[in-house]
Amino acid sequence: MVNKHKIMQDWVQRFLDDNYLYFEAADAYPNVRTLVPNYGDYVNRTDILGAKYKSYSFVFVGYERIDMGASDSNINTENMAIFDRFIEWLELQKEQKNFPDFGTNCSEYDIIILQNMANLAMITDDNLAKYMLGVRIDYKEE
């Protein structure tokens, strides 16, 4: 059986040239990136021939220092630019049909970016921000 979680981690890791991608959980430090799956192998529908149309959805999580207004730093906009670059990378992968390979019985892949920008999910007492961006990979499994 194909380990779709490992395939997804390796696929997203390509975006992170100089940073390691953790899976599900990691300590919160600046520049930490984590892939947190929502659904792996969720069956959306089955056609009359038995092919299953599935989704693998995940949240790309990142931690960065944030400026709470104490300076005129551009750090907050730079943080958002990191996630904008991830969105651009996903769009490029879709355009070039460079999808995660879930096996020979899977086809008709699509990448759906579930929001147009990352959410600021949390700010810790020491000004560490947690950003989150939802993504879904749809595919057909026969």
pLDDT greater than 80 at residue 18? no
Count of domains for the chain: 1
124-133 pLDDT tens trace? 888 899 999 9
> Do the Cβ atoms of 101 and 24 come closer than 8 Å?
no
The reported pLDDT for the residue numbered 72 is: 63
Amino acid 30: pLDDT: 87
Kindly provide the b/e burial profile for residues 93-102, where b requires at least 16 CB atoms within 10 angstroms of the residue's own CB.
bbeeeebbeb
**pLDDT tens, position by position, 36-78:** 999 778 899 999 999 999 999 999 999 998 887 766 678 888 8
Structure tokens at 131: 């950003």
Can you tell me the distance from the alpha carbon of 14 to that of 101, in angstroms, rounded to the nearest whole number?
14
| Residue 25's CATH number | 3.30.2000.30
Q: Say what the pTM is.
A: 0.90
Best CA proximity match to 58, nearest among 82, 22, 88, 31: 22
Q: Identify the band that residue 31 occupies on the pLDDT scale cut at 50, 70 and 90.
A: confident
- Tell me, what's the pLDDT at 135? 97
Query: Which residue segment(s) compose the domain that 73 sits in?
Result: 4-141
| pLDDT score, position 71 | 66
Q: What share of the chain is helix, strand, coil (3-state, %, to 5)?
A: 20, 40, 35
Is residue 118 over pLDDT 70?
A: yes
For residues 74-84, give the mean pLDDT. 87
